[in-house]
Amino acid sequence: MGWGLLFFGYFLEFILGMNTMFAPFVHVLGYALMAVGINGLRRYCRSFVRVYACALALLLLGVWRMFVGVDELFSLQLPFLLDGINQTVVWLNFALMILFHIFLALSVKELALRVSVSKNAVRAMRNLIAFGLYAVCYLLLMLIPTLKFLVPATLLLWPLWAICNCVMLYSCYMRIAPANENDQRPPSRFAFVNRMRSAIEIREQKAIEADRAYHAENARRAHEKKMARMSKKQQSRENARNRNKKD
């Protein structure tokens, strides 16, 4: 559990969500699936904590966006959907979506490099650039509606980065997907399937070990900096305290 749910949720929100008929019904489901998938990935790379926080915030906004979409689709004229709140939600959603994609790209890059899947790291940065171009065009249109020449570029860039991100997430699912610890599958009759499963398990373990080593090194450096700022007397006390903890 992890990449698969993230991919499926992303597909629902940013591909099916482009259709106004489906959009009101996928906002909550899409971000809920992404949040569950990202939560599973946090144990392999702690950078996904930031992505997870953004997904939860977008999930909350997705509830409001669902009511707005249903109201527009069926002309219900719900009394609590005030224009001022709607505009605030639109801007908050846009800002959080930017943070979500930045943190997602950086987290995918970090994990992909740790398990030596450099192609996905390159894809993450390429897709982030495409999303950045879309965000700039969309922001300019929101601030200056008279810039009509940006409409075709915005409409073209949306499916471009959305599809590219779906391809990247599916590639992550195939190449570095963490296996389910409770899934005790029997060996397949096909040798290539067993080899693929073995490669996935090796990459999973490598990701966990790399994450532990990365944070252990950061902790060591932080400790060295802390010791360097101490006097000799304070250093001796700190060393004695650490020895007592080990004992």
CB count, 10 Å around CB of 80? 8
How many angstroms separate the CA atoms of 235 and 59, rounded? Answer: 48
- For 106, the domain range is 3-176
- Asked if residues 202 and 176 have their Cβ atoms less than 8 Å apart, the reply is no
Q: Is 5 exposed, middle or buried (CB count within 10 Å of its CB: 0-12, 13-18, 19+)?
A: buried
Q: Is 122 exposed, middle or buried (CB count within 10 Å of its CB: 0-12, 13-18, 19+)?
A: middle
Q: Does residue 186 lie in a domain region?
A: no
Residues 196, 106 share a domain: no
Residues 137, 37 share a domain: yes
Residues 127, 59 share a domain: yes
Q: What is the pLDDT along the chain (247 residues), one digit of tens a residue?
A: 488 899 999 999 999 888 877 788 888 899 999 999 999 888 888 889 999 999 999 999 988 888 777 777 766 776 666 677 778 888 999 999 999 999 999 999 998 888 888 889 999 999 999 999 999 999 998 888 888 888 898 889 989 999 999 999 998 888 875 444 434 445 555 565 567 667 766 766 676 677 667 767 777 787 777 767 766 666 676 666 666 655 5
Alpha-carbon distance values, 9 to 16, 33, 62, 104, 187 (Å): 10, 5, 13, 14, 30
Residues 120, 228 share a domain: no
pTM (whole model) above 0.85: no
- Asked if residues 172 and 3 have their Cβ atoms less than 8 Å apart, the reply is yes
